[in-house]
Amino acid sequence: MIAVPFIGFAVVAFAAIGFATFALLRRNAKGGTVLATAIALFMLGVGGGTYWMVGRPMMATRDAQGLATHDVNGLVPYLIKRVRQQPGDLQAWVYLARAYITANDPVNAAKAYGRAVTVARLQHKEDADLNAAYGQTLVAASGQVTDEAVAAFNAALKLEPRNEPAQYYLGQAKMERGDKRGALAAWQTLMAQVPENSPLHQALVDRIAMLTSQNGGGAPDPKAMVARLAARLKDNPNDAGGWQRLIRAYSVLGQQTEAQSALDAARKTFATDRDIMGALESERKELKLN
């Protein structure tokens, strides 16, 4: 079992591209691709080098033969074997969850993160980011902020009151449950603490404007805002975050046909980019599109 730490580095390397890029794309981060690539290259250098230093590069695949699961270069089945033998190995559960994210399997990623959260609590190693990650995979798996996800985000806030993903999704939960005032308050609080030049800030501005308009608060015409965004994307279709904002904006306005058309256009534009397609699929599930 001495190879477990080294295999873990390799798992993070493969997960880094999908995990980091997914988060950056959802926030529409400028330069997100460059940052995600840098992270991935760093982890590949560390993980790949140590993996080969072990001297048995086929060990993971050989040891895991016969296990029916998603295969990320043999590492997922190896980690499944590891957590079965050592169910208290917190880091192995986290590696497994991230590997499932890379494999575009949010259902099993949520299960693995759930076990990681339980192990962390039993070992008195509770972590806000771990709880938030669990909540996010639950949202990705179900397409909505479930009660279980709400509990995970609340647990994250208890540990870190300013945790951004937890605040954002708890606002989303309120909106899904018809509490627009509660959603507005949650997002306004979050917007006040994030830098004005951050992609999250801009996304919050858009969502707050639409909610305020729906509540008669005199915000700018949301349809005009969406029309400007659609026009910009027509000239610059390679803005993945912009497409996600447009899809969500149409959905908030109740324009499901337009939201579906925007999703179809985004899929066509990024058909060869696995990470963006994964982010679009999560958006599709959350907004209940086809």
Q: Domain of 70?
A: 1-125
Q: For residue range 104-141, what is the model confidence (pLDDT) as tens digits? A: 899 999 999 999 999 999 999 999 999 999 999 999 99
Query: 166: burial class by Cβ within 10 Å (0-12, 13-18, 19+)?
Result: buried
Is the residue at 226 inside a domain?
Answer: no
Report the candidate in 197, 286, 192 with the shortest Cα–Cα distance to residue 248.
286
Joined tokens for residue 277: 């397609």
Buried b (16+ CB within 10 A) or exposed e, 205-222: ebbbbbbbbeeeeebeeb
Rounded to whole angstroms, how far apart are CA atoms 150 and 130?
14
Rounded to whole angstroms, how far apart are CA atoms 245 and 184?
17
The average pLDDT across 73-92 equals 89
Joined tokens for residue 207: 């969502």
Q: What confidence category does residue 42 fall into, taking pLDDT thresholds of 50, 70 and 90?
A: very low
Is the residue at 160 inside a domain?
Answer: no
Q: For residue range 246-255, what is the model confidence (pLDDT) as tens digits? A: 888 888 778 8
Is the residue at 115 inside a domain?
Answer: yes
Q: What confidence category does residue 152 fall into, taking pLDDT thresholds of 50, 70 and 90?
A: very high
Is the residue at 149 inside a domain?
Answer: no
The answer to whether 247 touches 283, Cβ cutoff 8 Å, is yes
Amino acid 215: pLDDT: 59
Domain tally, the chain? 1
Helix ranges (DSSP H) in the chain: 4-26, 32-54, 59-63, 75-85, 90-102, 106-122, 128-142, 147-159, 164-176, 180-193, 199-214, 222-235, 240-252, 256-269, 274-287
The answer to whether 99 touches 79, Cβ cutoff 8 Å, is yes
Is the residue at 102 inside a domain?
Answer: yes
The answer to whether 156 touches 129, Cβ cutoff 8 Å, is yes
Longest dimension (CA), the chain: 66
Is the residue at 93 inside a domain?
Answer: yes
Q: What confidence category does residue 25 fall into, taking pLDDT thresholds of 50, 70 and 90?
A: very low
**pLDDT value at 244 more than 90:** no
| 252 against 287, higher pLDDT | 287
**pLDDT value at 221 more than 80:** no
pLDDT averaged over every residue in the chain: 77
Is the residue at 287 inside a domain?
Answer: no
Is the residue at 19 inside a domain?
Answer: yes
Looking at residue 204, what DSSP letter applies? H
